Amino acid sequence: MTDFLNAIVALSNFVLVPGAAYGAQLALGALGVTLIYGILRFSNFAHGDTMAFGTMATILVTWGLQSIGISFGFLPTALIALPIGIAITGLLLLGTDRAIYRFYRKQKAAPVVLVIVSIGVMFVMNGLVRFIIGVGDVNFADGARFVINAREFKEMTGLDEGLAIRTTTLITLVTAAIAVALLFWFLNKTRTGKSMRAFSDNEDLALLSGINPERVVAVTWLIVAALATTAGVLYGLDKSFKAFTYFQLLLPIFAAAIVGGLGNPLGAIAGGFVIAFSEVLITYAWKKVLVYLMPENLEPSGLVQLLSTDYKFAVSFAILITVLLFKPTGLFKGQSV
């Protein structure tokens, strides 16, 4: 029995808990990508850097709050700064839309042109973030680091394996759940949300029924700002902030959005978790778990690893390609790419 519990704890500690946190972060990022694809009809390559910008704004506000002595008890101060960060990012995105995207929308530019434009925006934001906060690692998490750490858990339960749950992991899951609930409520129950969905389904029909397209676009950017900043801040709290890493986050986020079905919010969430868990599970060395579970004479001597961790990224892209080949609209019905 103890062996069984040890196996479960080891699996939770190294696979389930970190996978869930990473999945939630990817899901929030993928939601932003999918919303832009559904409503504005292009793949926004600047999304990773939007996350970086939002996080940077939040970090600056956090530092401001800390310097005047405000903190949030055992929770990180960044959570108080988050709404202000979202507001600043919202302004930036609305400004970008005004200055750049609107021009191409008026021209009825093809989606691929908008994609290229977004790559340009990506480079500018990239430079902006590095210019303001620098290229180095920024650690801005304060408050209590652990809800329970591995050593305490071992002492409490008397098991050989420890289970660590970080405050940031819990915050990530809770905040992600709240954000997703709010988004779905907004899209399904409010008038603006319904007009956004109408605009996404059939632009011409939506225009005929008197929906103001500029308003839909503006609201979309604001929601994207909120999602991107939240995802970025949660990720930064959980790990740390570095401009380069945020740029690299773009790949798994796109993989998640496409696997789930571009344009489908539910798919984005599922996609986030699929990508996160596939990265961890397929390359996991089962030795530790099996040693606990198997009778002594059957214990494995090797690592019992399906693929070496070198192939971690191959795994998510293999899933991506399989999905595109056999179900181009994604696991949940989205638009085909």
Tell me: does residue 299 bind another protein (CB under 8 A): no
Tell me: does residue 123 bind another protein (CB under 8 A): no
Span interacting with another protein, options 81-89, 97-105, 116-124, 149-157, rule CB under 8 A: 149-157
Angle at 96 between CA 233 and CA 134, to 5 degrees: 45
Q: Quick one: three-class SS letters along 280-322?
A: HHHCCECHHHHHHHCCHHHCCCCCCECCCHHHHHHHHHHHHHH
x/- mask, another protein, residues 244-263, rule CB under 8 A, reads: xx--xx--x-----------
Q: How far is the CB of 125 from another protein (least distance, A)?
A: 15
Provide φ and ψ at 251, rounded to 5°. -65, -55
> Amino acid identity, residue 182?
L
Coil, helix or strand for 91?
A: helix
Tell me: does residue 70 bind another protein (CB under 8 A): no
Q: Quick one: three-class SS letters along 183-226?
A: HHHHHHHCHHHHHHHHHHHCHHHHHHCCCCHHHHHHHHHHHHHH
131, with CB counted inside 10 A (0-12, 13-18, 19+), is exposed
Cβ closer to another protein: 20 or 219? 20
Q: How far is the CB of 134 from another protein (least distance, A)?
A: 8
Tell me: does residue 327 bind another protein (CB under 8 A): no
**What contacts 24+ positions apart, CB below 8 Å, involve 151-157?**
153/9, 157/5
Answer for which of 212, 305, 322, 336 binds another protein (CB under 8 A) is 305
Span interacting with another protein, options 75-83, 137-145, 193-201, 209-217, rule CB under 8 A: 137-145
Tell me: does residue 335 bind another protein (CB under 8 A): no
Tell me: does residue 240 bind another protein (CB under 8 A): yes
Answer for which of 151, 188, 205, 294 binds another protein (CB under 8 A) is 151
- CA distances, 294 to each of 16, 184, 275 (Å): 21, 45, 29
Q: How far is the CB of 169 from another protein (least distance, A)?
A: 9
Angle at 147 between CA 142 and CA 152, to 5 degrees: 120
Tell me: does residue 212 bind another protein (CB under 8 A): no
Q: Which two tokens stand for residue 152?
A: 């305490």
Span interacting with another protein, options 13-21, 58-66, 82-90, 201-209, rule CB under 8 A: 13-21
Answer for which of 150, 207, 266, 293 binds another protein (CB under 8 A) is 150
Q: How far is the CB of 66 from another protein (least distance, A)?
A: 17
Report which of 49, 16, 55, 10 is spatially closest to residue 239, judged by C-alpha positions: 55
Tell me: does residue 201 bind another protein (CB under 8 A): no
Residue 313's contacts (CB-CB under 8 Å, 6 or more residues apart) are: 251, 279
Q: How far is the CB of 130 from another protein (least distance, A)?
A: 8
Contact set with another protein (CB under 8 A)? 10, 13-15, 18-19, 22, 25-26, 135-137, 139, 145-146, 149-151, 162, 164, 166, 235, 239-240, 242, 244-245, 248-249, 252, 276, 279-280, 283-289, 303, 305, 308-310, 312-313
